[in-house]
Amino acid sequence: MPPDRSPSPLPDHEGRTPRPVTGWESLTETEVRVAEVVSEGLTNATAAERLFLSRHTVDFHLRQIFRKLAIHSRVELVRFALENGALGGVRQTG
């Protein structure tokens, strides 16, 4: 195996492959939905209303998103998502 590639995670006892620890693929389904609505410029309160969640739950998910993506702001979240084609399949070029 080449030194720059780590082995693929092994499936758990139920046959599921473990979720990565970092990067967009590490986000849960709910974290992705929160990231998408927050990237539209919504406040935590408005995002919570749209997703039928508590404002505190949105805040919690945002902290997890920031940690997993190693970012510190909503601006960085939008930039990360655009650069990685994570928002609606749109990928920023140039």
State both tokens at 24. Answer: 């967009």
Domain boundaries, the chain: 24-83
What does the pLDDT read at residue 49?
Answer: 98
Residues of the chain with pLDDT > 90, as a percent, come to 64
What pLDDT, on a 0 to 100 scale, did the predictor assign at position 11? 65
* Per-residue pLDDT tens digits for 35-72: 999 999 999 999 999 999 999 999 999 999 999 999 99
CATH among 1.10.10.10, 3.50.50.60, 3.40.640.10, 3.30.1330.10 for 24-83: 1.10.10.10
Q: pTM to 2 decimals?
A: 0.76
Eight-state DSSP code of residue 71: -
The pLDDT of residue 7 is: 52
Length of the chain: 94
